[in-house]
Amino acid sequence: MEINILLADDHKILRDGLRNVIEKVVNLKVIAEAQDGREAVKLCAEQKPDVVIMDVSMPGLNGVEATQQIVHENPDIKIIALSMHSNKRFITGMFKAGAYGYLLKDSDSDELITAIKTVARNQKYVSQKISSIILNEFMSALPEEESELSSREREILQLIAEGKSSKEIGDILFVSSKTVDAHRKNIMDKLELRTIPDLTKYAIKSGLTSLED
């Protein structure tokens, strides 16, 4: 059975490398590519891939929020997180959002193929470079890390942290700038933070954005 795959990463050179590895394998086919989380959500709705290779840190809409939206609309799609981060917060965030696998970017080609075939069989996959001790730690912590913010508030917080104005955010999300300002006030009230730099620090610490990527 052919496994149809969507690649979501903001670096084209990485997508090209992934495609080259994947399409050398019989019955694996890359059917679409997305350069950010928002495009990944759109393409998943249109193309209905079996597996998505999802970069965790992307501008506009990060991999965690994109995964949550995709799985909500298309629960049969299996998502493999792809990241340079082995930090518990990133791993926890992706699995809580509905990802089926987590792969580090320095994994070899064979492990990538193994991960794809594993999640396609409805089985979880975690990179071999993440030790069982870390795995047990973050799995046991899953119920304890509920976010104070709604999905839309996290989405807006990421865009604020990435320097977008209220008008720009409104244009991206198809809402008015007044609506964005209201969300921002709610975010500040919930987090008890009063400045954009403080919101940005919180977004980075929470794994909503990674400005170095």
Q: Do 103 and 158 sit in the same domain of this protein?
A: no
Provide the domain count of the chain: 2
Q: Do 114 and 169 sit in the same domain of this protein?
A: no
- pLDDT value, residue 90: 84
> Does residue 211 lie within any of the structural domains?
no
CATH of the domain at 170: 1.10.10.10
> Does residue 212 lie within any of the structural domains?
no
3-state helix, strand, coil in the chain (%, to 5): 55, 15, 35
Q: Do 134 and 166 sit in the same domain of this protein?
A: no
**How large is the average pLDDT for residues 92-107?**
91
- pLDDT value, residue 127: 85
User: Mean pLDDT lowest for which of 86-90, 104-108, 177-181?
Assistant: 86-90
> Does residue 156 lie within any of the structural domains?
yes
Q: How far apart are CA 170 and CA 41, in angstroms?
A: 18
* pLDDT greater than 80 at residue 136: no
Q: Do 43 and 75 sit in the same domain of this protein?
A: yes
Name every residue whose Cβ is closer than 8 Å to that of residue 73 and which is 6 or more positions away in sequence: 41, 44, 45
| pTM for this predicted structure | 0.72
Q: Do 100 and 12 sit in the same domain of this protein?
A: yes
Q: Do 57 and 81 sit in the same domain of this protein?
A: yes
The pLDDT mean for the chain works out to 89
Q: Do 159 and 131 sit in the same domain of this protein?
A: no
> Does residue 167 lie within any of the structural domains?
yes
Q: How confident is the model at residue 140 (pLDDT cuts 50, 70, 90)?
A: low
Could you list the residue range(s) of the whole structural domain that residue 85 is in?
Answer: 3-143
Highest mean pLDDT among 102-111, 115-124, 203-212: 115-124
> Does residue 213 lie within any of the structural domains?
no
Q: How confident is the model at residue 145 (pLDDT cuts 50, 70, 90)?
A: very low
- pLDDT value, residue 89: 79
- pLDDT value, residue 135: 61
Q: Do 33 and 109 sit in the same domain of this protein?
A: yes
